A and B are shown apart, each in its own frame.
Chain A
């Protein structure tokens, strides 16, 4: 309502005043904010709280199993490029937990991660089914029907992740940027930008789906955390290492680089670190 603090003797204002007055006696109900039937107005718990499970995905940025030091850490990849990391922004989509017996819960249709913004690195789906969880699956990048121009809400983050129409449209799957020391002994910028490239040279989609096994963990009325690493080193390692000397500055129009990153990334970029349970009652 208008907080400028003025009398508004309209019917609406009067109604809300009267409702407030009618309901101002002590109320019983579920007072646990984690419960499905939590009542904000309840002041006394009546034991009716119905607590289901929560599922939380915590993304941890790593380089060769060590925590990423954004902006400051110095790293060397398998192609012997010495590099620093300044920005990592990416999407996962269809983030889904699969239970024994065929049930599944979608944790998020898509999610935007920014390594410099901790709040974006964790996501929770509340009030999901309880049961034994076999696996976590997700798509690296943006699932097909979401990967088209203007499919996501026009927030600053999504606008800045757009993949321009002349190169196929949709969204960047990842922006992984920083500097590396070139063979010419100069600092070079690198921009590992992945996304679906469509141009006169053809079409390459570096998206992939991953399954992380969870061994039938029985999840009760808890917040079940799945800690998953994105290990940046994994983008470089593979049968053919990704060498910044070859692809350094920008690869958005480079089909070969997109395909190589997909191949390298599928193996060892995403790893389950551990799972743990947080109490909800």
Chain B
């Protein structure tokens, strides 16, 4: 058996050397790794056929995330707007980076569809317009990309892939609520009341903010406005040009939501109390409002003050300190 294998290998070596393998400098493709998320009901970290996760790829993505070299004028890095202590969001309408590797719909208006790799291609090519010459001129990065991807020439694809690998590690599943689901802790009476409001038609939040990711990868019109003055307000309409899609936005995750204000695509609400007041009494009924907006004809789900407070208390159980301080995700 061993001898047979040896023969095949020698044969292959000859045929390979003679025809198939271009004479390039050698490099080893690093060992693939898998990211395990051990939490009930959590999806598997998606695999990309061209972008296997490796320790070197993840580390490179992390370095790039914090490095203004991606910016043509070197002014900003991803981390300038996406701050770890705010679930990789900031005091503006910046969407957080938490469990994004599982998504297939990106940006408030859902205009990017595909994998996290596709989203990163957009960020690198369209949003940042990264100057690849700068990366290719850096001996440091040349070595790191070679280690991670076996390449001698850095293309935007490799930058996007490295970032995507890092994004696939930015996972949060250790909030108080998660520990409660895993039966490692208990919720207070008020938090349990909030849970029931959230996960029933009393408040009806779960249909769009579906556990365990607290988002559904869909766009909805929540009756926030009836006129759409800016392009940004038009939402998914920008993608389809179908009037029925006016004011439809990606459901943002509610993980770490206590830290990601101000809220909504236009940042109109400062506090969670204001948000819940909107869902209770501020919903504007209209032709293309989502059917899941219960009692929209009456302005919303009409929670009383105690229930509003309970719902806010529940939302606070979605804060995951271990994610916000995870050393593996911080500036390297």
Q: How far is the CA of A14 from the CA of B40 in the complex (A)?
A: 41
A186 to B287 Cα, complex, angstroms: 11
- Which chain B positions have C-beta within 8 A of A165? 199
Give the tally of cross-chain contacts (CB within 8 A): 127
- Interface positions of A from 9 to 42, Cβ below 8 Å from B: 9-11, 13-15, 17-18, 21
Q: In the complex, what residue of chain A is closest to B289 when comparing beta carbons? A: A189
Q: Which residues of B contact A4 (CB under 8 A)?
A: 50, 149-151, 158
Q: Given the interface contacts A4-B50, A14-B12, A187-B285, does A159 sit within 8 Å of B201 by beta carbon? A: no
Q: Are B294 and A249 in contact (CB under 8 A)?
A: yes
Residues from 23 to 51 in B contacting A, C-beta threshold 8 Å = 24, 26-29, 40-44, 49-50
Nearest opposing residue in chain A for B32, CB measure: A2
CA distance A179 to B223 in the complex (A): 14
Q: How far, in whole Å, are A42 and B136 apart by their CA atoms in the complex? A: 45
CB of B16 within 8 A of CB of A179, answer no
Interface range for A: 35 or more
Instruction: Name the residue among B26, B158, B297 with the largest chain A CB count within 10 angstroms.
Output: B297
How far, in angstroms, from A190 to B295 measured CA to CA in the complex?
Answer: 9
CB A82 to nearest CB in B, in angstroms, measures 15
Give B215-261 interface residues, CB cut-off 8 Å to A.
216-218, 244
B29 contacts A8, CB within 8 Å?
yes
The complex places the Cα of A2 from the Cα of B50 at a distance, in Å, of 6
Q: Which residues of B contact A149 (CB under 8 A)?
A: 40-41
Are A154 and B9 in contact, CB atoms less than 8 angstroms apart? Answer: no
Contact A156–B217 (Cβ < 8 Å): yes
Q: State the Cβ distance, B112 to closest chain A Cβ, in Å.
A: 16
Indicate which residue in B195, B200, B285, B291 contacts A253 across the interface (CB closer than 8 Å). B200
Q: How far is the CA of A252 from the CA of B202 in the complex (A)?
A: 10
| Total number of B residues with any Cβ neighbor in A under 8 Å | 55
In the assembled complex, how far is the CB of residue B13 from the closest CB belonging to chain A, in whole angstroms? 6
User: Given the complex of chains A and B, what is the CA–CA distance between A154 and B46 in angstroms?
Assistant: 11
List, in ascending order, chain B residues with CB within 8 A of A101's CB. none
Structural contact, A186 and B297, CB atoms closer than 8 A? yes
How close is A14's CB to chain B, nearest CB, in angstroms?
Answer: 4
Known contacts A9-B26, A155-B43: does B210 contact A160 (CB below 8 Å)?
yes
Partner of A15, one of B12, B27, B206, B294: B12
Cβ of A71 < 8 Å from any Cβ of B? yes
Q: Flag whether A182 is at the interface (Cβ < 8 A).
A: yes
Determine whether the beta carbon of A9 is less than 8 Å from that of B16.
Answer: yes
Assess the A164–B199 pair: CB atoms within 8 A.
yes
How far apart are the CA atoms of A250 and B104 in the complex, in Å? 29
Q: Collect the chain B residues with CB atoms within 8 Å of residue A177's CB.
A: 291-292
Could you tell me if B29 and A189 are in contact, using CB atoms closer than 8 angstroms? no
Query: Contact string, B260-282, partner A, CB cutoff 8 A, digits 1/0?
Result: 00000000000000000000000
Whether B137 is near chain A, meaning CB under 8 Å from some CB there, is no
Instruction: Select which of B11, B50, B196, B201 is within 8 A of A18 by beta carbon.
Output: B11
Query: How far, in angstroms, from A167 to B198 measured CA to CA in the complex?
Result: 12
* A187-B9 contact given A4-B50, A6-B150, A167-B200, CB 8 Å threshold: no
In the assembled complex, how far is the CB of residue B29 from the closest CB belonging to chain A, in whole angstroms?
A: 6
Nearest residue, chain A, Cβ from B216: A160
Task: Report whether A9 and B9 are in contact in the complex, using a CB–CB cutoff of 8 Å.
Answer: no
CB-based nearest A residue for B208: A160
Bound CA–CA A154/B42 (angstroms): 6
CA distance A96 to B149 in the complex (A): 48
> Which chain A residues in 80-130 approach chain B with CB under 8 Å?
86-87
Nearest-neighbour CB distance to chain A for B239, whole angstroms, equals 16
- Which chain A residues lie closer than 8 Å to B8 at the CB level? 15, 18
Contact of A252 among B149, B200, B289, B297 (CB under 8 A): B200
Which residue of A2, A162, A253 contacts B201 across the interface (Cβ within 8 Å)? A253
Which of A17, A160, A191 touches B294 (beta carbons < 8 Å)?
Answer: A191
Is A201 among interface residues, defined by CB-CB distance under 8 A? no
Complex interface bits, A231-272 against B, C-beta within 8 A gives 1, otherwise 0: 000000000000000000110110000000000000000000
Interface hits, A156-187 → B, CB 8 Å: 156, 159-160, 162, 164-167, 177-179, 182, 184, 186-187
Starting from the known contacts A6-B150, A7-B21, A189-B297, 4 additional A-B residue pairs (CB-CB under 8 Å) come to: A6-B27, A18-B15, A189-B289, A191-B294
B residues contacting A by CB (< 8 A) are 8-9, 11-13, 15-16, 20-22, 24, 26-29, 40-44, 49-50, 52, 104, 149-151, 158, 195-196, 199-201, 204, 206-207, 210-213, 216-218, 244, 285, 287, 289-297
Query: Could you show 29 A-B contacts with beta carbons less than 8 Å apart?
Result: A2-B50, A2-B52, A2-B150, A4-B150, A4-B158, A6-B150, A7-B21, A7-B24, A7-B26, A17-B16, A18-B15, A18-B16, A87-B291, A149-B40, A149-B41, A154-B41, A156-B217, A159-B211, A159-B216, A162-B210, A178-B291, A187-B287, A187-B297, A189-B289, A189-B293, A249-B294, A250-B201, A252-B200, A253-B201
Query: Nearest 6 pairs between A and B by C-beta?
Result: A18-B12, A14-B12, A250-B201, A164-B199, A177-B291, A154-B43
